[in-house]
Amino acid sequence: MEKDKKVLKKIALIICASNNERHRNIVTAVHSELKKTGGCVLYVLTNYGVFTDQDDTDYLHGEPANYSLLDRMELDGCLIESNIGSNKLVCMLAEKLKRRGVPTVTINIDVPGIPAVHLDARDAVYELMEHLVEKHGCRRINLVLNEGNKSISDMAETTYNEVLGTYGIPLNEKRILSSLVGIQIGRQIYDIYDRRGVMKDCDAVICVHDVCAIGLIMEIESRGMKVPRDVRICSLNHSSNSMAFRPDITGIDRMDSAAARKACDLLIKLINGESVPAVTFYKSRPIYRRSCGCEYQLSYEDDTAGVYQNIIYNKVEAASQISSTMRFSDMLETVETIGQLSGSIDRMMSGLGISGYYCCFNESDIDYIMSDKADTKTSSDPPYEDVMRVIAGRTQGGTVFAGDTDFPAEDIVPVKPGAGDMLIIYPVHYKNRDFGYMVIQNDYTPINVYNYRICHDSLGSNIANLHRQMILRSNVKALEELHMRDQMTNLHNRHGLVKFAPQFAADNLYSVGLIDMDGLKLINDTYGHLAGNNAICNLANAITEAAGKEDFVARYGGDEFLILSKESEGSYWIGLENAINERLKAAVCKQKLPYALGMSLGFAISTPQNPLTLDAAIEEADREMYVEKNRKKGKTENKTE
């Protein structure tokens, strides 16, 4: 009888979660297809970040620990989806699976020796360009390729050249640009084309990715131009991202469900020992909208009102999730034991409507958290150990785990999944340490990706804070330090200022700088207070990195920071202001934040010839800081007028 029992197939789906809509579509489609087979369990490994190929040493923005689970899992098959993913990362993962003999299929990326499913956009791109040339008379068309998706970009460039040749339009290499993805990239795209002399005379721009198209539209309209009156904009990726902007962006339907169906079909054949073609294609179609000058008649299935209703619903849901994560963050600040941590996590997941989840930690990490010992874990140590422990969890049947269940890491979760189950896995990571992972069962999009990042960072930082509390209980000096530290930014607070300020002001040769964040209220009102906290922490990090080694940095108030320095030249503060702003821009780009970060700085200098008390210096720096802030506000108001 035991021999006749059907063995479940373990299938992994590796996916980039930078685009919540595509993440949901691919995961939903793959899960739906595999459930039809009746004998598969789906493990979704996602890093909620964006992969880039720009840095040879750190090419993954996200948490690489998550993918090391692949080394432990006994898989029957694996799907790797790459929309704007890193070719390098995908090839690395696929090669490891290939060496282990795990049947693998990639979607929209080529790895030698591994079957792939590709979007065949050639006919759609040809039709789109014909439409621009014949219907709208465009003859000067710019093309923005995507460095992250080589296969689609190569296809687009080849078709672009063919159409120009068909119509006898001369090829101008200056009109072809390879770019990263991001709304903030719109200005760079415009500026590069402008320097090349091919922007002002441009009839149309085709972007491989719709986010680049959105960014370019925003930049064009900020310069007083109109879309499509002055220039027509198209993309080779159609999504509700495009629908959220006016004018609606003409694009090519990526047909995620079709890709998932074909990929699952190929994978099941590979698992069954059947041969499959090296490349399988699925077709796309153009969807014409107002960004290229077409008043497209929407079908019932493609109703604009429905799309906007869905966007509004998502925003309401996101706001609810942010509220829950804020309450969770407040609870974590009072946690003193693993049991309390377990209860806080369970209340948060229940508040988000998640009925099945597991928060799994390395046993040694739990011992570390609850001790006053220094961290001995190094980057060469494996992120996940042989034995994991559920510190919090709940099955969909109602069984609760409270930090007392150990299981082999190869099992991923402490219970055996059933046929058709799906487990979405996120890392629990803080700074350079991997504690474990969170598994969410049978929910396609349980947490908005952006909100999950806030929740994840809050969990990681508060776990680290719990360990700090263990140290403080046995160390009076550390307790004093905590009293003088701001918990959120880890900078000194006013208590620290009272203790350390006198040594700076003793000889009357010092300077004081006050920094206040720009636009924090707008961030709080638009994205919630957790996002505002994240913005404050980014500013704190930028100040800490830019300040001199001997400078004293403190969080002076909510979004105000104070710096004491022995530097007595105004040029030092001008240089410091520039350095902080550069780091803020880098943080926005690296973290793909949906808002800008800025600050205003004022300073005062005390010398033996013109001595200032500390209170007087702070008061003068405060006045100068508000002069700078009001100057910026005046600029904004003038620009608006």
CATH architecture, domain 120-255+288-303: 3-Layer(aba) Sandwich (3.40)
CATH topology of domain 484-640: Alpha-Beta Plaits (3.30.70)
Query: What is the average pLDDT across 240-263?
Result: 78
pLDDT band for position 163 (50/70/90)? very high
Query: What is the average pLDDT across 261-289?
Result: 92
pLDDT in tens, 401-441: 876 788 998 888 998 898 999 998 877 776 667 788 888 88
Q: Is the pLDDT of residue 1 over 50?
A: no
User: Which helix (H) or strand (E) covers residue 282, if one does?
Assistant: strand 279-283
The mean of the pLDDT values for the chain is 81
**pTM of the complete model:** 0.65
Residue 327 has a pLDDT of: 63
pLDDT in tens, 109-141: 888 889 999 889 899 999 999 999 999 999 999
Residue 281 has a pLDDT of: 92
Residue 316 has a pLDDT of: 58
- Other Cβ atoms within 10 Å of 284 Cβ, number: 24
Beta-bridge partners for 494 = none
What residue segments make up the domains of the chain, in order of their start? 120-255+288-303, 310-473, 484-640
Cα 361 from chain centroid? 23
Q: Is the pLDDT of residue 471 over 80?
A: no
CA-to-CA dists, residue 244 to 21, 181, 227, 306, 464, angstroms: 13, 17, 15, 12, 39
The two structure tokens encoding residue 53: 């190929």
Beta-bridge partners for 380 = none
The CA distance from 328 to 313, in Å, is 23
User: Which parts of 48-121 fold into alpha helices (H)?
Assistant: 65-72, 87-99
Pairing status of strand 510-518 against strand 598-606:
antiparallel
Q: Do 413 and 425 contact (CB within 8 A), yes or no?
A: no
The CA distance from 169 to 161, in Å, is 9
Q: Is the pLDDT of residue 2 over 90?
A: no
Radius of gyration of the chain (CA): 27
Q: Is the pLDDT of residue 223 over 50?
A: yes
Q: Do 99 and 91 contact (CB within 8 A), yes or no?
A: no
pLDDT in tens, 350-401: 777 788 889 888 888 877 777 777 777 776 777 788 889 998 898 888 788 8
Per residue, what are the HEC states of 408-472? EHHHCCCCCCCCCCEEEEEEEEECCEEEEEEEEECCCCCCCHHHHHHHHHHHHHHHHHHHHHHHH
Angle CA 537–541–542, to nearest 5:
115
Q: Do 420 and 351 contact (CB within 8 A), yes or no?
A: no
Question: Reduced to 3 states, what is the DSSP secondary structure of residue 202?
Answer: coil
CATH topology of domain 310-473: Beta-Lactamase (3.30.450)
The CA distance from 636 to 284, in Å, is 44
